[in-house]
């Protein structure tokens, strides 16, 4: 029965609008899309990538080889770049599916270059570490790579990239430290294409844009605090599956963490910590119904949350939907409420929920 399951609505038109807005903001710089982890948990890769493609996106970034293969089976004529690099023995698979490994150390370059020896050398992407110590060529390997610059120049298209650690904070001095390190790399490896910014970096200004930016979260409606023109994409609502009376002095939920100070009515919605809603929301979170804010009471259970409907008892019934996040109470705000980041809110959308892709 469809009405007993929470629903996630994903607005494909808003994704496209966000892409086009970022394109306008970045002027001549190419805007690629980060679609890793199945477009940050939103799924529906065919529809989401089709929307981005129709807005003009040609370059897509995923994290894992397996994600790249899935995308390639869906789309023939897009560039798919794999952030986690090229592990030993994967060369043939990358080649077969025409995926571009993002090379993260010298040995990856050596192997890939050797593998492509007599083959066409079309695309090469090298990630340099400028201060995350996560992925990317570090200084010793950069020196070795520099000695291979004649081989790097044999490729038709070369992208030199890095990633910012603190770009969500415009004022953080580390952004410029990393940019200067990147400038030094650009000087050594000159005459190629360059990319440093993801969503946060776009708002640090033109100096950070280079030839390509690689936003993710902004496309999906997160980080609206960067720019109010970014449209909300994801909304979540849940049906009510039970309504109960809670008498004055009685408690609700595990461990009796909420005791009624008066006679009350409660409603139960079918989502809980098994769906990623942490205990932190216990007696603290809220949902919305026709403009009314309804607080969560008692401890969050594995599969259910109890809400206080005392003030609107006459307006609400089993099967009605309450809203968890929407265009007004966005994923950014919901993330703040739950002590996390909007990335995690959408990446962890439960498999038990229905996902609707709206055009």
Ligand X SMILES: Cc1ncc(COP(=O)(O)O)c(C=O)c1O
Binding positions for ligand X, rule: CB under 6 A: 34, 61, 83, 163, 198-200, 214-218
Structure tokens at 202: 């776009």
| Closer of 18 and 34 to ligand X (Cβ) | 34
DSSP assignment of 85-111, as one string? ---TT-HHHHHHTT-EEEE-SHHHHHH
Order across the sheet with 292-297: list the strands.
Answer: 242-246, 264-269, 305-308, 292-297, 286-289, 321-325, 234-239, 7-11, 354-358
Q: How far apart are CA 244 and CA 52, in angstroms?
A: 45
* Number of residue whose CB is nearest ligand X: 216
Task: Report the nearest approach of ligand X to the CB of residue 199 (Å).
Answer: 3
Task: Report the nearest approach of ligand X to the CB of residue 242 (Å).
Answer: 38
The answer for residues whose C-beta is within 8 angstroms of residue 289's C-beta and 6 or more apart is 309, 312, 315, 316, 320, 322, 323
Task: Report the nearest approach of ligand X to the CB of residue 179 (Å).
Answer: 15
Contact 128, 162 (CB under 8 A): yes
Q: How far apart are CA 121 and CA 5, in angstroms?
A: 50
Task: Report the nearest approach of ligand X to the CB of residue 329 (Å).
Answer: 21
Q: How far apart are CA 296 and CA 227, in angstroms?
A: 31
Structure tokens at 295: 């607080």
Structure tokens at 179: 């940019």
Active site residues: 36, 254
Task: Report the nearest approach of ligand X to the CB of residue 344 (Å).
Answer: 12
| Closer of 17 and 163 to ligand X (Cβ) | 163
């Amino acid at each position: 029965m469809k009405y007993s399951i929470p629903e996630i609505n994903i607005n494909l038109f808003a994704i496209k609008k966000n892409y086009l807005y970022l394109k306008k903001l970045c002027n001549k710089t190419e805007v690629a899309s980060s679609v890793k982890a199945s477009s940050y948990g939103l799924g529906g890769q065919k529809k989401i990538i089709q929307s981005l493609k129709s807005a003009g996106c040609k370059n897509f970034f995923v994290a894992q080889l397996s994600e790249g293969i899935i995308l390639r089976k869906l789309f023939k004529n897009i560039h798919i770049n794999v952030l986690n690099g090229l592990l030993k023995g994967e060369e043939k698979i990358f080649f077969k599916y025409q995926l571009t490994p993002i090379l993260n150390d010298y040995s990856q370059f050596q192997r890939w270059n050797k593998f492509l020896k007599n083959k066409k050398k079309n695309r090469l992407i090298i990630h340099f570490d400028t201060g995350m110590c996560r992925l990317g060529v570090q200084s010793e390997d950069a020196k070795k790579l520099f000695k291979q610059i004649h081989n790097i120049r044999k490729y038709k298209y070369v992208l030199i990239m890095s990633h910012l650690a603190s770009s969500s904070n415009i004022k953080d001095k580390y952004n410029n430290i990393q940019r200067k390190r990147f400038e030094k790399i650009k000087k050594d490896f000159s005459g190629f294409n360059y990319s440093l910014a993801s969503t946060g970096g776009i708002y640090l200004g033109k100096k950070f844009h280079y030839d390509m930016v690689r936003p993710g979260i902004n496309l999906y409606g997160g980080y609206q605090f960067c720019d109010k023109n970014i449209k909300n994409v994801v909304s979540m609502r849940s049906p009510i599956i039970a309504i109960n009376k809670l008498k004055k002095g009685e408690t609700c939920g595990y461990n009796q963490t909420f005791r009624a100070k008066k006679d009350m009515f409660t409603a139960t919605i079918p989502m809980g910590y098994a769906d990623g809603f942490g205990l932190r929301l216990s007696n603290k979170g809220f949902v919305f119904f026709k403009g009314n804010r309804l607080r969560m009471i008692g401890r969050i259970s594995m599969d259910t949350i109890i809400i206080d409907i005392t003030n609107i008892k006459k307006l609400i019934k089993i099967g009605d939907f309450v809203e968890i996040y929407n265009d007004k109470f966005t994923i950014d705000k919901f993330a703040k409420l739950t002590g996390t980041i909007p990335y995690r809110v959408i990446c962890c959308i439960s498999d038990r929920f229905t996902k609707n892709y709206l055009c």
